Amino acid sequence: NAGVTQTPKFQVLKTGQSMTLQCAQDMNHNSMYWYRQDPGMGLRLIYYSASEGTTDKGEVPNGYNVSRLNKREFSLRLESAAPSQTSVYFCASSDTGGAGVEAFFGQGTRLTVV
Amino acid sequence: DAKTTQPTSMDCAEGRAANLPCNHSTISGNEYVYWYRQIHSQGPQYIIHGLKNNETNEMASLIITEDRKSSTLILPHATLRDTAVYYCIAANSGGSNYKLTFGKGTLLTVNP
């Protein structure tokens, strides 16, 4: 049982390049999330998907797009990378329900934009 | 989601109980208190959550005050591996409104 898997683990991009961060979960969760974490800071929500076929903006969506490809997969795309997007990106998933839910996080993608 | 306030850092001796406080004075009636931790830039790890009652699991205990304006996470016998940043979060339960808002958390350092 792999949980939440992110690829790649590390990436270096040049300013202006594009790339897609991949995330997959094997827990049959409805909801998936993308966060970024800058040095010394907490995690900030970029986008989330409450269920297959829906996506919504989080706190810091500018410069990103997402695709909920199916129930398992939620990708994050940087169309034109900027140095300000240098960060660690975490994907997470959770079930939906009324009694409090636990979110599961991937191990992160460390992105550097030069 | 309600804002939470935590101390920036705390120290604890190995083998002793670690008590991490959190203030969430504006928490609403349908918001749970969640605790997560992050060890050395790994992905955050769920610890425990509660609504009104105190909760205990194999990792920790969560004590929520009667007015729900504050809570304390207790690690009963801290080990060196518990050194991490601990996040206290108030969030709605599940559904499309379930989003975790992370602050800066408390850096707990467990000393030998």
Single-letter amino acid code for the residue at B67: D
From CA A73, how far away is CA A90, in angstroms rounded?
14
Burial B22-34 (b: 16+ CB within 10 A, else e): bbbeebeeebbbb
pLDDT of residue A42: 86
Check pLDDT > 70 for residue A99.
no
A33/A74 Cα distance (integer angstroms): 8
| pLDDT at res. A2 | 77
Residues forming beta bridges with residue A24, ordered by sequence position:
A5, A73
Instruction: Indicate if the pLDDT at residue B81 is higher than 90.
Output: yes
Contact residues of A toward B, CB < 8 A = 4, 31, 33, 35, 37, 40-45, 48, 50-51, 54, 56, 58-59, 88, 90, 92, 94-108
Answer yes or no: is pLDDT of B95 > 60. Answer: no
Residue B107 pairs in a beta bridge with B9, B85
Amino acid A98: pLDDT: 56
Residue A100: DSSP 8-state: -
Amino acid identity for residue A83 in this structure? P
Decide: helix, strand or coil at residue B92. Answer: strand
Q: How high is the pLDDT of residue A81?
A: 96
Task: Please indicate whether residue A76 or residue B92 has the higher confidence score (pLDDT).
Answer: A76
Q: What is the pLDDT of residues A8-62, one digit of tens each?
A: 999 999 999 999 999 999 999 988 999 999 988 889 999 999 888 899 999 999 9
Given an 8 Å threshold on Cβ–Cβ distance, is A4 in contact with B41? no
- Which residues between 55 and 84 in chain B have a beta carbon less than 8 angstroms from any beta carbon of chain A? none
Task: For residue A21, give the H/E element and its range.
Answer: strand A19-25
Query: B86: which DSSP letter?
Result: E
pLDDT digits (tens, 9 = 90+) for A59-92: 999 999 999 989 999 999 999 999 999 999 999 9
pLDDT at A96 over 80: no
pLDDT, one tens digit per residue, over B42-70 is: 999 999 999 998 999 999 999 999 999 99
Range name among A76-85, B25-34, B51-60, B96-105 with the lowest pLDDT average: B96-105
End-to-end, the C-alpha distance of chain A in Å comes to: 36
What lies within 8 Å, CB to CB, of A12 at 6+ separation is A111, A112, A113, A114
Tell me whether residues A45 and B101 touch, CB distance under 8 A. Answer: yes
Instruction: List residues bridging with A83 in a β-sheet.
Output: none
User: Which of the four pLDDT bands, split at 50, 70 and 90, describes residue B103?
Assistant: confident
